[in-house]
């Protein structure tokens, strides 16, 4: 399904209800990603911004699982300052949500930025939801290979921004990186152990499971996150 074909209202409202039911809780990211996948996006990235910092709240490429987190890691390494929407999101007024269509061939972006984030991964453009809340300024980026498949009139898009604000502004800070919120409890615990520098045997003892189970949970977590190494885990979890 693509955005030129509006979601049936019953399907859309079902997604919204599930997101609202778990806003601010661990299950939100999974519900939100299911909604994005239902819209036919090839990739979604959600970032939060301050004048000198960007952090990744969500990154998923639905076609190439390992691509989303890698691009997010590159983006956070200073490339976010080259984003054509960077100044716009900082200037956004609280409560304001705006949808912006980005055609990389027409947008005033640097050639090296276009090559890294559009040409190399084969993304033809994106619809960006720029949303400002009381504490956070977010950009929800939805990408597709073919930009002509997208429309600015779809009423779903502003709601995506408001749902993201509702969740990330109300979620209690618990020391768990947002990127891990789509994992199961055990998968998340293993990743937190890895981030803390613990070996598999120590994590296994903490959780009361066999070391082989830790390896299994870690593999499942990495598959869901689209990563393959401890270094990539650190990259997408830094705040």
Quick: pLDDT tens for 172-212: 655 677 778 778 889 999 999 999 999 999 999 999 999 99
Q: What is the pLDDT of residues 84-117, one digit of tens each?
A: 999 999 999 999 999 998 888 888 899 999 999 9
Please check whether residue 32 is in contact with residue 182, taking contact to mean a CB–CB distance below 8 angstroms. Answer: no
| pLDDT at residue 3 is higher than 50 | no
pTM of the model: 0.80
Rounded to 5 degrees, what are φ and ψ at 142?
-115, 120
Residue 110 CA to residue 126 CA, distance in Å, equals 16
Average pLDDT value for residue range 41-55: 89
Question: What pLDDT, on a 0 to 100 scale, did the predictor assign at position 173?
Answer: 58
Instruction: Tell how far CA 223 is from the center of its chain.
Output: 15
Q: Are strands 125-132 and 97-102 parallel, antiparallel or unpaired?
A: antiparallel
* Domains, the chain, ordered by start: 9-170 (3.30.450.80), 178-237 (1.10.10.10)
Burial 190-225 (b: 16+ CB within 10 A, else e): bbbbbbeebebeebbeebebeeebbeebbeebbebb
């Amino acid at each position: 399904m693509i955005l030129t074909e509006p979601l049936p209202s019953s399907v859309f409202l079902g997604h919204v209800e599930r997101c609202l039911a778990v806003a601010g809780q661990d299950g939100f990211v999974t519900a939100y990603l299911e909604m994005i996948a239902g819209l036919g996006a090839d990739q979604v990235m959600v970032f939060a911004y301050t004048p000198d910092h960007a952090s990744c709240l969500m990154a998923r490429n639905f076609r190439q699982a390992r691509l989303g987190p890698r691009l997010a890691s590159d983006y956070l390494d200073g490339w976010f300052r080259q984003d054509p929407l960077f100044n716009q999101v900082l200037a956004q007024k609280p409560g304001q949500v705006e949808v912006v269509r980005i055609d990389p061939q027409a947008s005033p972006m640097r050639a090296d930025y276009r090559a890294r984030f559009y040409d190399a991964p084969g993304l033809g453009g994106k619809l960006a939801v720029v949303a400002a809340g009381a504490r956070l300024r977010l950009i929800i980026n939805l990408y597709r290979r073919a930009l002509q498949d997208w429309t600015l009139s779809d009423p779903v898009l502003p709601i995506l921004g408001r749902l993201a604000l509702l969740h990330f502004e109300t979620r209690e800070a618990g020391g768990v990186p947002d990127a891990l919120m789509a994992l199961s409890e055990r998968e998340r615990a293993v990743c937190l152990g890895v981030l803390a520098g613990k070996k598999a045997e120590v994590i296994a003892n903490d959780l009361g499971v066999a070391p082989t189970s830790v390896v299994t949970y870690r593999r499942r977590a990495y598959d869901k996150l689209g990563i393959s190494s401890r270094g990539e885990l650190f990259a997408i979890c830094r705040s």
